[in-house]
Amino acid sequence: MLLRHTPTDITDRKALMINPAKTCQPIGAMYASLGIHGCMPHSHGSQGCCSYHRSTLTRHFKEPVVAATSSFTEGSSVFGGQSNMIQAIDNIFTIYEPEIISVHTTCLSETIGDDLTQIVKKAYDDGKVPAGKHVIYAPTPSYVGSHVTGFSNMCKGIVSGFAEKTGEQKNQMNIIPGYVEPSDMAEIKRLTTEMGVKTVLFPDTSGVLNGPQTGRYHMFPKGGTTVEELKSSGDSLGTLALGSFASSLAAKLLDTKFKVPCRVLPLPIGLAATDRFIDTLRKLAGVTVPDSVTFERGQLVDVMTDMQQYLYGKKVALFGDPDQLIALTEFLVSLDMVPVHIVTGTPGKEFEATITELTKDSPVPVNVKAHSDMFQLHQWIKNEPVDLLMGNTYGKYIARDEDIPFVRHGFPILDRVGHSYFPTVGYRGGLRLLEQILNALLDRKDRDSSEESFELVM
Ligand code: SF4
């Protein structure tokens, strides 16, 4: 009983978080930067922050994640980190030769008020940025928001740093995929290729954080969105932002600055959300849906109907990132499952309103809270037990103490593999998610069945 001290009685807490359901902003900014080809993420702060961010990403993706740091000391913490950062930019371009340095701040540099716009300008003025190379940046103070906010801020930084309008419209769509796995980004690209739609997908960590073992180390793998693609995003037909929390900021900037119209959709997880994604793409790009995609959709519908008896009425507790939870909730409701406790660590009142709307026909009251923690979720579960728990690795403690089947989904997943390679977006992703849910429920059913009701065929 690792969490045996969690009490069943719930008291109102205002000034205390216990096991927040989120990580810090720079992790998301670092993740977004890794989806740009030839980009070195740079953490403007102390070495400890950078180590934590790198190690979280490395543990989740099981790949070496490289990033540089301004390496603040006592002096820079008091007088500002400008000289450290300019020296760092010089060193990084000289030693590691990236195409781009992508700078994000930390709590410390934000608190002392370092002005990234001014420091980056000075680096260019001082000749520290070689011709043809780039420095982009985003503020990511971690005392507000979460890793999702950091991802969103860096996506906006990518647009600010690269997007251009030449006046010559390109027959292509921008897609901002949201805070999803490299496997999901690859799946979105596969689907758009099947549809015959040319896209600029950014950031794109497929091939970067799920690449093959070749026996040779490449600091800058082949994957990632290129500078040329990013520049052309200002000439695209439109932008699809998947997941409003992670992607809408950058999409709206493309809209206001370059008049590239944007549509914000939920992540395409599950049948209805993927239908929405495919249909919007079809309309905006003026294409037809190929039989191959309709076939995949039919397979998902088939498994949903075949296995409905094992899903009906099952209560689920969910925690994680808001965009993921919104899409998951819609999918679970469509499976006739009952999401009852839903927690995200990321702030945002619209999250609560969206979940409330999605679960308005629920047969039982639904608990939902943004900017909350795992402690709250555990207390809710103690008061209203569930049949399934879904969330990142940190949920394993609650799952063990309460003896609940557990499906790992979201970020970070530190104790399993698969998430980087098998998508959960699209129809095929929906099938995988459904398989995971069914395996967890049916394994439990097998475990708990008496000998006379222990079935070979389910
Ligand atoms: S919360 Fe702030 S101080 Fe802590 S690791 Fe993140 S950026 Fe650094």
CA of 411 to the centre of ligand 1 (A): 17
The minimum-distance atom of ligand 1 relative to the CA of 24 is: 6
- What does the alpha-carbon distance between residue 447 and residue 441 come to, in Å, rounded to a whole number? 10
Q: Are 405 and 399 in contact (CB under 8 A)?
A: yes
- What does the alpha-carbon distance between residue 140 and residue 153 come to, in Å, rounded to a whole number? 7
Q: Are 26 and 142 in contact (CB under 8 A)?
A: yes
pTM, two decimal places: 0.97
Q: Are 34 and 202 in contact (CB under 8 A)?
A: no
Label residue 446 exposed, middle or buried (CB < 10 Å: 0-12, 13-18, 19+). exposed
**Encoded amino acid at 423, one letter:** P
For 376-411, letters b (16+ CB in 10 Å) and e give bbbbbbbeeebbbbbbbbbbbbbbebbebbbbbbbb
CA of 28 to the centre of ligand 1 (A): 12
Neighbours of 198 (CB within 10 A): 13
- What does the alpha-carbon distance between residue 50 and residue 56 come to, in Å, rounded to a whole number? 10
Bridging pattern class, strands 367-369 and 388-391: unpaired
- What does the alpha-carbon distance between residue 400 and residue 81 come to, in Å, rounded to a whole number? 45
- What does the alpha-carbon distance between residue 278 and residue 195 come to, in Å, rounded to a whole number? 9
Neighbours of 282 (CB within 10 A): 15
Which of 33, 133, 119, 125 minimizes the C-alpha distance to 70? 119
Assigned CATH class of 25-162: alpha beta
In degrees and rounded to multiples of 5, residue 284 shows phi and psi of: -70, -35
The minimum-distance atom of ligand 1 relative to the CA of 52 is: 5
The residue written with tokens 């395409």 in the block is 268
- Name the residue with the closest Cα to ligand 1, atom 5: 49
For domain 296-452, the question of CATH label 3.40.50.150 is answered with: no
CA of 294 to the centre of ligand 1 (A): 45
- Name the residue with the closest Cα to ligand 1, atom 6: 24
Strand order in the sheet with 199-201: 199-201, 173-176, 238-242, 262-265
Please tell me the total number of residues recorded for the chain in this structure: 458
CA of 109 to the centre of ligand 1 (A): 10
End-to-end CA distance of the chain: 32
Label residue 275 exposed, middle or buried (CB < 10 Å: 0-12, 13-18, 19+). middle
Cα three-residue angle 318-319-325, rounded to 5 degrees: 75
- Name the residue with the closest Cα to ligand 1, atom 7: 106
CA of 50 to the centre of ligand 1 (A): 9
CA of 443 to the centre of ligand 1 (A): 39
- Name the residue with the closest Cα to ligand 1, atom 4: 49
Q: Residue 2's pLDDT is what?
A: 83
- What does the alpha-carbon distance between residue 253 and residue 261 come to, in Å, rounded to a whole number? 10
Q: Residue 411's pLDDT is what?
A: 98
According to DSSP, the residues that pair with 256 across neighbouring strands are: none
- Substitution candidate for ligand 1 out of 42, 51, 54, 107 with most atoms within 8 A of CB: 107
Q: Residue 388's pLDDT is what?
A: 98
- Name the residue with the closest Cα to ligand 1, atom 3: 107
The minimum-distance atom of ligand 1 relative to the CA of 26 is: 7
Q: In CATH terms, are 25-162 and 173-290 the same topology?
A: yes
CA of 46 to the centre of ligand 1 (A): 9
Q: Residue 154's pLDDT is what?
A: 98
Domain ranges of the chain: 25-162, 173-290, 296-452
- Name the residue with the closest Cα to ligand 1, atom 8: 49
- What does the alpha-carbon distance between residue 274 and residue 192 come to, in Å, rounded to a whole number? 12
Q: Residue 1's pLDDT is what?
A: 75
Q: Residue 278's pLDDT is what?
A: 98
**Encoded amino acid at 157, one letter:** G
- Name the residue with the closest Cα to ligand 1, atom 2: 107
Neighbours of 366 (CB within 10 A): 16
Which of 324, 328, 367, 322 minimizes the C-alpha distance to 347? 322
- What does the alpha-carbon distance between residue 2 and residue 13 come to, in Å, rounded to a whole number? 22
| Residue ranges lining ligand 1, Cβ < 6 Å | 24, 26, 49, 52, 106-107, 142
CATH number of the domain at 173-290, please?
A: 3.40.50.1980
CA of 66 to the centre of ligand 1 (A): 18
CA of 254 to the centre of ligand 1 (A): 29
DSSP summary character for residue 143:
T
Low-confidence ranges of the chain (pLDDT < 50): none
